[in-house]
């Protein structure tokens, strides 16, 4: 649920920094450079990049544009191969038991156990399909505001990094303090700094 | 100051805004007069999260329920708890939005947009109708944000002015009166 349908949850940002004059060419170039790269047929563990909001498989923006009126609309897609700790524990224990039996020993050294665990983890990661997550965003160019359709702290941190890397612009989260500074005149903004929490009872 | 510290230090602004908004909406039976827009609908509904204290010693109170009077939440206010999250219905003209607002970060959660004539699921057959649907949804999101921003602007202008002490007296009186009425 996000930009396109149903109920939506979002976090608001201000976009800080200067945009170049050839803005749309710049966006085209940078979005292409940071578009999502599929890892289904590789053994990579992680991939992050931009896709179309209309179709998470469209990272060339062949069928839908990231431009809508005075807005840039994009989805941040993250694919990650994950192995649950319970699965890792089970297969590591199984492999340790096999090696103990093969070598006819009671115990394995700590180093050997660590090596087994790392090898099993790498094998399991390779076998597991990448899990996708997609988050929409909408960047209003006239007000330099951005809506990111998630409240997840982890997703927000990833967005801030990817956005900075792609456009060389910073995102400032619109918490009440920042919003108050944005919405009020200079005289009111100066008084804000002196405010102390009020007792409501 | 970095963002995490700023969120923590200034979270009272968002909490006081939600408490003030609740009081203000009930003061005039579910509407608030904005200086340039006139009366707009503001109603608190079915979900509220209150907090008392900070960090590991904080206490949380979640109140939920259809057609609720938020009885526990009103009592919570008299015990010094402050609203951290509230489900608010805001409306202007034909438009009505339901938004869960958070105090510390002013995130918008589970935003329900007004029904419009051209409302669709965003999968138009051609690129132009798709773009039209996207732009319509964006303009609705921005309209909802603008309403909340205008309410917040009004709150900040009162909060930083000499009128705040009078407003605080009325707000405290409302907290005790509304909790009292429900207790009877």
Average pLDDT, chain A: 93
Closest alpha carbon to B146 in B59, B64, B34:
B34
- Asked if A130 and A118 touch (Cβ cutoff 8 Å), the reply is no
Q: What is the mean pLDDT of residues A109-128?
A: 93
ipTM over 0.95: no
Residue A177 pLDDT greater than 50, yes or no:
yes
Q: What are phi and psi of A13, to 5 degrees?
A: -135, 155
DSSP lists the bridge partners of residue A138 as A73, A147
Nearest CA of chain B to the CA of A180: how many Å? 7
User: Mean pLDDT lowest for which of A156-160, A186-190, B57-61?
Assistant: B57-61
User: Mean pLDDT lowest for which of A119-128, A185-194, B29-38, B54-63?
Assistant: B54-63
- Select the residue of A10, A147, A200 nearest B172 (Cβ to Cβ): A200
Tell me the three state secondary structure of residue A82.
coil
Inter-chain contact B160–A195, Cβ cutoff 8 Å?
yes
**Cβ contacts from A onto B, under 8 A:** 135
DSSP for residue A35 = B
Q: What is the mean pLDDT of residues A135-141?
A: 97
- Asked if A144 and A99 touch (Cβ cutoff 8 Å), the reply is no
Whole-number pLDDT of residue B122: 46
- Percent of chain A residues topping a pLDDT of 70: 100
Alpha helices in chain A, H assignment, sequence order: 23-33, 85-103, 110-127, 153-167, 176-183, 186-192
User: Mean pLDDT lowest for which of A32-36, A119-123, A187-191, B122-126?
Assistant: B122-126
B167-182 tens-digit pLDDT: 999 999 999 887 777 7
Inter-chain contact B156–A175, Cβ cutoff 8 Å?
no
Closest alpha carbon to A200 in B87, B153, B159:
B159
B8-32 tens-digit pLDDT: 889 899 999 999 999 999 988 889 9
Whole-number pLDDT of residue B116: 74
Inter-chain contact A5–B175, Cβ cutoff 8 Å?
no
Residue A30 pLDDT greater than 50, yes or no:
yes
CB of A183 within 8 Å of a chain B CB? The answer is yes
CB of A4 within 8 Å of a chain B CB? The answer is yes
Whole-number pLDDT of residue A147: 97
CB of A121 within 8 Å of a chain B CB? The answer is no
- Select the residue of A12, A173, A176 nearest B3 (Cβ to Cβ): A173
Whole-number pLDDT of residue B72: 80
Q: What is the mean pLDDT of residues A51-75?
A: 91
Residue B83 pLDDT greater than 60, yes or no:
yes
Whole-number pLDDT of residue B36: 83
Closest alpha carbon to A164 in A36, A20, A66, A34:
A34
- Percent of chain B residues topping a pLDDT of 90: 51
DSSP for residue A62 = S
B104-158 tens-digit pLDDT: 999 999 999 998 755 555 455 677 788 888 999 999 999 999 999 999 999 999 9
């Amino acid at each position: 649920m996000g930009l396109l349908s149903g109920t939506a949850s979002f976090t608001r940002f201000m976009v800080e920094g200067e945009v170049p004059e050839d803005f749309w060419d710049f966006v085209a170039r940078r979005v292409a450079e940071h578009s999502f790269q599929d890892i289904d047929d590789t053994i990579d563990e992680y991939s992050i990049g931009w896709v179309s909001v209309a179709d998470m498989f469209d990272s060339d923006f062949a069928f839908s544009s990231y431009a809508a009126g005075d807005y840039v609309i994009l989805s941040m897609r993250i694919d990650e191969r994950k192995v649950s700790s319970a699965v890792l524990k089970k297969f590591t224990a199984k492999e340790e038991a096999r090696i103990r039996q093969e070598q006819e020993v009671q115990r394995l050294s700590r180093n050997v156990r660590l090596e087994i665990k790392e090898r099993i983890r790498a094998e399991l990661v390779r076998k597991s399909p990448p899990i996708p997550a997609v988050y929409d965003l909408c960047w209003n160019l006239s007000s330099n505001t951005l809506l990111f359709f998630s409240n997840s702290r982890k997703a927000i941190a990833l967005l801030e990094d990817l956005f900075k890397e792609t456009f060389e612009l910073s995102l400032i989260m619109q918490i009440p303090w920042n919003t108050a500074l944005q919405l009020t005149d200079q005289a009111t903004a100066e008084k804000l700094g002196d405010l102390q929490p009020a007792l409501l009872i | 100051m970095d963002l995490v510290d700023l969120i923590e230090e200034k979270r009272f602004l968002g909490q006081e805004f939600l408490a003030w908004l609740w009081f203000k909406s009930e003061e005039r039976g579910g509407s608030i007069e904005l200086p340039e827009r006139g009366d707009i609908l503001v109603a608190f509904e079915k979900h509220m999260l209150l907090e008392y204290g900070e960090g590991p010693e904080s206490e949380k109170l979640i109140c939920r329920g259809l057609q609720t009077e938020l009885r526990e939440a009103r009592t919570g206010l008299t015990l010094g708890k402050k609203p951290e999250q509230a489900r608010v219905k805001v409306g202007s003209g034909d438009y009505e939005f339901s938004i869960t607002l958070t105090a510390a970060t002013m995130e918008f959660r589970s935003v329900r947009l007004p029904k419009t004539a051209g409302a669709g699921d965003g999968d138009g057959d051609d690129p132009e109708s798709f773009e039209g649907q996207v732009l319509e949804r964006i303009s609705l999101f921005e309209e909802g944000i603008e309403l909340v921003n205008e309410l917040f602007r009004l709150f900040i202008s009162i909060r930083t002015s000499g009128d705040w002490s009078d407003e605080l007296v009325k707000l405290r009186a409302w907290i005790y009166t509304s909790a009292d009425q429900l207790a009877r």
